[in-house]
């Protein structure tokens, strides 16, 4: 047991060190891309807490990212708050929005919640453009942030926050809160007969998850140095859900695979298609990234419903088992 823990700590330290020097090796643009991947990592982590652990599907987390992003942009331009300080505030505002939305969503089980959050995703751009909010959101033009940061800056800030939020998620999942979430997911009736208050825990899950989305949305705004309704496009919510499914619902380590997928597959969709397609096709046409994403989601659901996290567990379980069990022991 002690040996295994030592190995774990060493592995984590080595991984942390190599991640810290990585942006200086790969150049600023790659560092930017990896930073963007970190943003997806945070958002998908939050979505996974809600969907994977509590069993509430949200197809509208892009909208909560938008709340975080707009909060950051408005605070940075109007109140002169340094933009990195707006990140937690963006998260808190989105978390609050999530709590408020979580209350009507309490009455919605499974499918109905998916429907309502889909509505939020589709309606969000038109709400941001609405005349009444135009003074705040600047309508279709959007808001320019004061500063465009380097890729290395984004990488460092994003992954530092991502690491902290990952540890938080890990702590939540392995606490009383996380056990209540999972109990609700597996059977709401059984959970409530064990003394878990479904309403309180579901709203809490929605709030926490939206907080993650808001932090990601703030970072997203900072990475672009502008926000407008099209930055948080409708399909962004779908991308996050795809990332969560591909990473594996109910797996925290799998989220990294989901984030990498969402960040790197759509821009490289045409080369992927060229590689897998047996026929000569026009791989640069519009729509190809969506076809690849949709096909990937369908295939994962049909063939590997536990996603990358599930595959990882299946591969690592025998190895870890051997590592942890004493020779001659059971």
- Give the integer Cα–Cα distance in Å for 216 and 210: 10
Q: Candidates 200-208, 238-246, 253-261, 316-324 — which segment interacts with other proteins by CB under 8 A?
A: 238-246
- Nearest distance from residue 219's CB to other proteins, in Å? 24
Does residue 119 interact with other proteins by CB under 8 A? yes
Does residue 252 interact with other proteins by CB under 8 A? no
Is the separation of the CB atoms in 326 and 270 below 8 Å?
no
Does residue 322 interact with other proteins by CB under 8 A? no
CB nearer other proteins, residue 79 or residue 131: 131
Does residue 57 interact with other proteins by CB under 8 A? yes
Does residue 122 interact with other proteins by CB under 8 A? yes
- Give the integer Cα–Cα distance in Å for 255 and 19: 17
Does residue 214 interact with other proteins by CB under 8 A? no
CB nearer other proteins, residue 12 or residue 281: 281
**Residues from 291 through 320 that contact other proteins (CB under 8 A):** 291-298, 301-302, 305
Considering CB under 8 A, how many residues would be counted as binding other proteins? Answer: 51
* Of 171, 165, 180, 172, nearest in space to 55 by CA: 180
Contact with other proteins (CB under 8 A) among 42, 65, 114, 215: 114
- Within its chain, how far is the Cα of 320 from the centroid? 28
- Give the integer Cα–Cα distance in Å for 249 and 80: 39
CB nearer other proteins, residue 135 or residue 286: 286
Does residue 234 interact with other proteins by CB under 8 A? yes
Number of C-beta neighbours around residue 310 at 10 A: 18
For the chain, the straight-line distance linking the first and the last C-alpha, in angstroms and rounded, comes to 14
CB nearer other proteins, residue 45 or residue 128: 128
Is the separation of the CB atoms in 154 and 224 below 8 Å?
no
Does residue 100 interact with other proteins by CB under 8 A? no
- Nearest distance from residue 193's CB to other proteins, in Å? 9
Question: How does 141-169 read in b/e, with b if 16+ C-beta sit within 10 Å?
Answer: ebbbbeeebebbbbbbbbbebbeebbeeb
Tokens of 45: 């982590």
- Give the integer Cα–Cα distance in Å for 197 and 104: 16
Does residue 199 interact with other proteins by CB under 8 A? no
CB nearer other proteins, residue 88 or residue 289: 289
Exposed/middle/buried for residue 257 (C-beta within 10 Å: 0-12, 13-18, 19+): buried
Does residue 108 interact with other proteins by CB under 8 A? yes
Phi, psi angle pair for 282, to nearest 5°: -80, 90
Does residue 123 interact with other proteins by CB under 8 A? yes
- Give the integer Cα–Cα distance in Å for 8 and 137: 47
Does residue 130 interact with other proteins by CB under 8 A? yes
Interface positions with other proteins (CB under 8 A): 55, 57, 59, 104, 107-108, 110-112, 114-116, 118-120, 122-123, 125-127, 129-132, 187, 189-190, 234-235, 238, 241-242, 245, 282, 285-298, 301-302, 305
């Amino acid at each position: 047991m002690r040996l295994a823990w030592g190995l774990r700590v060493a592995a984590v330290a080595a991984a942390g060190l190599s991640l810290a020097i990585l942006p200086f090796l790969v150049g600023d643009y790659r560092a930017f891309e990896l930073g963007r991947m970190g943003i997806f990592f945070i958002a998908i982590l939050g979505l996974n807490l809600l969907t994977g652990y509590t069993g509430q599907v949200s197809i509208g987390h892009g909208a909560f990212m938008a709340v975080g992003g707009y909060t950051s942009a408005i605070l940075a331009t109007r109140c002169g708050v340094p933009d990195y300080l707006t990140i937690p505030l963006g998260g808190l505002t989105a978390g609050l929005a999530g709590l408020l939305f979580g209350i009507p969503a309490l009455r919605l089980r499974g499918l109905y919640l998916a429907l309502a959050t889909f509505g939020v995703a589709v309606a969000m751009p038109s709400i941001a453009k609405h005349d009444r909010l135009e003074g705040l959101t600047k309508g279709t033009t959007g808001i320019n942030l004061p500063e465009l940061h380097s890729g290395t800056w984004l990488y460092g800030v994003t992954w530092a926050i991502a690491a902290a939020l990952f540890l938080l998620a890990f702590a939540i999942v392995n606490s009383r809160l996380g056990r209540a979430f999972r109990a609700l997911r597996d059977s709401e009736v059984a959970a409530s007969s064990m003394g878990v208050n479904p309403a309180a825990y579901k709203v809490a899950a929605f709030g926490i998850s939206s907080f993650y989305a808001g932090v990601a949305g703030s970072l997203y705004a900072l990475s672009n140095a502008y926000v407008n309704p099209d930055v948080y496009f409708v399909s962004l919510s779908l991308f996050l859900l795809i990332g969560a499914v591909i990473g594996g619902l109910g797996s925290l380590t799998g989220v990294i695979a989901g984030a990498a997928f969402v960040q790197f597959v759509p821009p490289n969709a045409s080369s992927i298609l060229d590689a897998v397609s047996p026929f000569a096709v026009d791989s640069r046409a519009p729509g190809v990234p969506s076809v690849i994403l949709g096909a990937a989601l369908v295939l994962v659901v049909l063939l590997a419903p536990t996603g990358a996290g599930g595959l990882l567990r299946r591969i690592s379980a025998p190895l870890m088992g051997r590592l942890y069990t004493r020779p001659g022991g059971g």
